[in-house]
Amino acid sequence: MIQKDYQSQASEPMFVIQPVQGLPFPDFRELREYRELLYYFVWRDLKVRYKQTAIGVGWAVIPPIFNMLVFTLIFGGLAKLPSEGIPYAVFSLTGLTAWGLFSRALTGASSSLLGGSALSAKVYFPRLIGTISALVISLVDFAIAFTLLVLILFGFGIFPGWSAVALPIFIFLALLTALAAGVWLSALTVQYRDIAQAISLLTTMWMYASPVAYSPTLLPQGIVSTLYWLNPMAVVVQGFRWALLGSPLPPYPLMGISLLLVLGLLITGLLYFHRVEKTFIDLV
């Protein structure tokens, strides 16, 4: 006769599922509990990216160098755009380094749900982990590209001053902007696959709406200039040049409004992400 040990069964943990109270935000405590999975995602993606490649981490610096040469030839040589008294190669490479951090983070974050759909269909984990891992990976590529930028600055005899200590602020703003846009795009991409095709076009348009290849001194003053600095990536790129090259900063009030816009985009994106998260498995 089989006897059941009711006492041992009673000691087993019991999980109670309750409706979410308050605003429908993702449970950020889960991100801390699943932090080891985040480390695994980052390590896995880094190994896959550079596995069986002849150049390896060199791919982190080839795109900005190539774009710098093209921009220098077309915008600096043929169009002769002003570069605020800075050699155009250095001027453009600084903007491209800042933009590369954002574009890699945005591209990885926006495709994180589709890229991890095979694993998501088998086990549960906070879906935001894939989005956050893309930001961490972009920081690794940025560190390599930034090292090259510093060496080139020194080669041109340019040595940043004390303003360089503020550079982490603009790095954080770039990642925050990528996270805010990436949360929206990743959720929309699962529902509307056309979004995945449009991300590259969106990123290109956003780059030319930011002072990567040109100086913001070309902008007419007034409403155009005001609207321009509401673009957080315009603030990031010009902030990089201010920290490293001594370029002028955008107006402080507009920088503050730009930050508030990013926070608003992030909050609404998290709300939307959480609302449609339960349908991800059915759609991927």
250 in a structural domain: yes
Instruction: Examine residue 134 and state whether it is found in any structural domain, yes or no.
Output: yes
Cβ contacts of 59 within 8 Å, gap of 6 or more: 49, 50, 53
Residue of 154 and 56 predicted with greater confidence:
154
Decide if pLDDT at 148 tops 90. Answer: yes
Mean local confidence (pLDDT), 12-21: 52
2 assigned to some structural domain = no
Q: Which residue bears the tokens 């303003």?
A: 163
Nearest by Cα to 276 from 22, 17, 24: 24
**Lowest-confidence region among 118-132, 138-152, 170-184, 207-221:** 118-132
Contact 154, 78 (CB under 8 A): no
Question: Does residue 131 lie in a domain region?
Answer: yes
Report the pLDDT value the prediction gives residue 12, as an integer from 0 to 100. Answer: 57
pLDDT at 165 > cutoff 70: yes
Q: What is the Cα–Cα distance from 65 to 86, expressed in whole angstroms? A: 17
Side chain identity at residue 26, one-letter code = P
Determine, yes or no, domain membership for 53.
yes
- Structural domain total, the chain: 1
> Residues 32-46: what's their mean pLDDT?
77
Whether 184 maps to a domain, the answer reads yes
Residue 10 lies in a domain: no
102/19: higher pLDDT: 102
Residues 273 and 188 sit within 8 Å (Cβ to Cβ) = no
Domain that holds residue 112: 25-199+210-277
pLDDT score for 2:
41
Instruction: Specify if 168 maps to a domain.
Output: yes
C-alpha angle 69-74-76 in degrees, rounded to nearest 5: 80
